[in-house]
Amino acid sequence: MTTTPTPSTAALVDEAAYLEAVVQARAAADAYYGLGESTLDDETYDRLLRGITAWEVEHPNQVAADSPSRQVGGGITTGEVEHAQRMLSLGNVFTDEELTAWAASLQRRLGGRAVTAWAVEPKLDGVALAARYEDGTLVQLVTRGDGTTGEDVSHAIGHITGLPKALTEPVTIEVRGEVLMTEAQFAAANEARTAHGGAVFANRRNASSGSLRAKDRAYQVKQTFLAYDALTAAEHTSDPGLADLTHTQLIDHLAALGLGTTAGTPVATLACATLDEVLARIHHIGELRANLDFELDGAVIKADNRADQREAGVGSRTPHWATAFKFPAAQKITVLRDVDWNVGRTGVIAPRAILEPVSVGGTTITYATLHNPADVTRRDLKIGDHVTVHRAGEVIPRVEGAVTTLRTGEEQPIVFPEFCPRCGGDIDRSQERWRCARGRACGQVESIRYAVARDALDIDGLGEKIVVQLVERDLIEDFADLFTLTRDQLLTLDRMGEKSADNLMSAIAAARNKPLNRVFCALGILGTGRSMSLRIATYFGSVQAIQDADAAALEQVDGIGGEKAPVIVAELVELAPVIAKLRAAGVNLNQPGWVPPAPADAEPGQEAGEADDDLPLDGMAVVVTGAMTGPLAAYSRTEMNELIARAGGKASSGVSAKTNLVVAGAKAGSKLAKAESFGVEVITPDAFAQRINGYLA
C-alpha cells in the first residue's frame, strides 16, 4: 500500500497560541479569497489548520467563533449574492490509512452498510464557481465566498472556456466547478498583465482568482472551467432526471450539455466498486499529475450514489460523503536570498535564484531557474521577496512570482551584470536572453565538453582536464580540431601515457563515423538538443541540406516554430567555419538510411521516398521510458531514439493520444500510467528488440 507523507501538524501549546493560529489562518484565507494572493502555501496552511482542529478536539469548549475549521473559505465573505444551496468545502486526508479511516466513518453514518459505489476525480487547483443557466442561456456567475453568499463575477461571461453562453439544450440549471488556467493561458495572462504595467502573478491559482474578480480592465484573459457538480433538486433545475443520476453519470451529462469537464482527459471522473480500486485510482491520478495541462493538488473521493449522499448528510462546513486526498505540494512559498549569473556553453548568461531551502514534492530545493533577465524584470522580483516556487515531476524548479503582499520594504533590487560574469567582456542585450559578446569563445571549454559527451560524439576518455590542456596549449579551438590531432600532440599533455593516447585516438576515430544527428547535436546550436538534432537530421539527411535550408524550410521540422527557425539559420552561419573543418577532416555529415520527405504537394498516400524494405515502425510515434533491459540494456536514450528513426518511427518525449507505441522498461513511472490511460500499446524492451531486430546496431 502506497502512503503519501502527512503534513506535520502545527503544535499549539495553549489558548494564546491557538488564537494566534486562528488569526494567522484567517489572514491567509483573507489574502487568498479576498485579494487573490496566497500568503501561505497549501502545505503550510494545511499544517496550521490541522493544528487548530487538533486543539479544538482537545478543548471543545474553547473553540473560537471565527475559527476557520468551522467555516467555508476560512469564513471570508466576498459577496452579497446568496447561494440557492450552500457551496461547501471538503475535508482532507493525506494517507491511505487516513482515507481508510474516513471510509469507515462514512460506513457508520450509513448504518454499517458499505457505500454502493465510489466516484474518484481530480481535486482541481483553482477557484470554485457557480454558473447559473436559464433556459440554456448563461445569466450569472458567482464565486463560492463563505459558502452562503458569493461575489457576482458575471462580467467574466464569454471569457471562460468550458462555460458556453448557450447549452446544447434549453435547460435551467446551476452548475458548479472550478475556474483555472492552463499553462498557455497563464503565460498569456502574465504577458497581457505586464504589457499593461502590472506585475506577474505568483502562480496560476492567484492568476485565476485575481482575473475572475477584475472589472473594467483594458484587457481580458482566458480561463478554463471544469464542472464537478450541479444542483439536482427539482426546485433548482428544469433538467428532468438529474436527481436519479449517479455522480459519474451527472458529469457525463454536463459534458453532453457542452460544459467543460474532465471527461476525455486521463483523470476523468471514474466509478470504483471497492476502496482498493479507489486507492489505485488516486495514485494513478497522482502519477499523471505532472503531465496535465491544468493543475490539481489531490483527488476527490465521493459516494457515487445520490441516495448514499442524502443519507450521509452534510456538516457545517463539509459533506460527510466526500473528502479530498491531498498530494504532496508541487509549489511552496520561500524567500529569494540572492541571484547568481551563469554563463552557458554558447555564451548565454542565465540568472539562477538562490532560495531559502524548501521541500517541494519530497525534494529540498535551494536553486530555481529565472529564465532570463527580461523575465526577472517582468516578474518584478527583489532580493528578500517571498516567492512561489513550482516543481512538478522531474521538471526543473522555477520561480513563478513574488507574493507582493508580504513585502516589508526591506527587499532589495536584483543587480544585473554590466559585463560577462565569466570573461568580463561586453554583453549582447539585443535579445531577451543576454549573451556574452564573445559567444562560444567565452564558453570554449564547455562547448567542447558538450560536443564530446555521450549524447553527442561520445568520445570516451576526453575529460575536462584534457580539454582544458588542449585549449590552453592552442592545440584546438573547437571540437572540429579534435579530428586533426596527432598521437604525438596528445603525448605532450600532462599524465598522458602511450596507452591512453592510443585509446583516445581510437575514440576520436570512432566519432568520425557517428551519424549526422550526433554531429549536429555536437554543434550546440541554440534551441536544439539530442531530440531536435535527430529530427533535423532525419528530415534533411545531410548537413549541406540543412545549411541550404532557409527559415521556412526549417519550420517544416516538427517542433521548430517561427521563433526558433531564424535562430538556427543564424547559428549555422556562425558555425560555418567549424562545419568546414569537419568536412575537411572527413567527418560523416550524412544521416544513415535517410529517406527524403514527401513534397508539400504530395497526394495522400504518396510515399516520401523508397526504403529498402518495409520499416517495422513506419510512421509510428514511439516513446521510450524507464530502464532498458536485455539486448537494449546498454543503449542510451539517444541511441534508442536513433534506433527508432532507423526503423521508420518518430521518437517522442511525451505520451499523448497520438502516441502509437510505448517501450516501458523498469521504473517506467508516469509515462506508463499515461499510456495506459490513453489505451496506447505498451511493450517491454525485449519485445521491442524482437520487433526491430534487423535494425539493432
Closest C-alpha among 335, 252, 251, 266 to residue 296: 266
The helix-helix angle for 530-540 and 637-646 (nearest 10°) equals 20
CB within 8 Å of 165: residues ≥ 6 apart: 137, 138, 157, 158
Q: Provide the β-strand partners of residue 175.
A: 131, 230
> What's the rounded Cα separation, in Å, for the pair 546 and 194?
38
Report how far apart, in Å, the C-alpha atoms of 660 and of each of 83, 297, 387, 560, 617 are: 47, 30, 40, 22, 9
| DSSP designation for 61 | G
> What's the rounded Cα separation, in Å, for the pair 464 and 286?
40
CB within 8 Å of 538: residues ≥ 6 apart: 517, 591, 594, 645
- Can you say how many angstroms the Cα of residue 250 is from the centroid of all Cα atoms in its chain? 29
473 phi/psi in degrees, rounded to 5: -95, 10
> What are the strands, taking DSSP E only, across 100-172?
118-124, 127-134, 137-143, 149-150, 160-161
> What's the rounded Cα separation, in Å, for the pair 306 and 557?
52
> What's the rounded Cα separation, in Å, for the pair 528 and 550?
16
Is residue 123 annotated as a catalytic residue, yes or no? yes
Termini Cα distance of the chain: 41
Closest C-alpha among 666, 670, 667 to residue 653: 670
Q: Which listed residue (123, 326, 514, 674) is catalytic? A: 123
The burial of 69, by beta-carbon neighbours within 10 Å (0-12 exposed, 13-18 middle, 19 or more buried), is given as: buried
Kindly compute the dihedral angle of the four CA atoms of residues 666, 668, 669, 675, in this order, to the nearest 10 degrees.
-140
Torsion 506-507-510-511 (CA) sign: negative
Alpha helix ranges (H) inside 41-82: 42-58
Q: Which residue has the cell 549526422?
A: 516
Q: Which positions are annotated as active-site residues?
A: 123
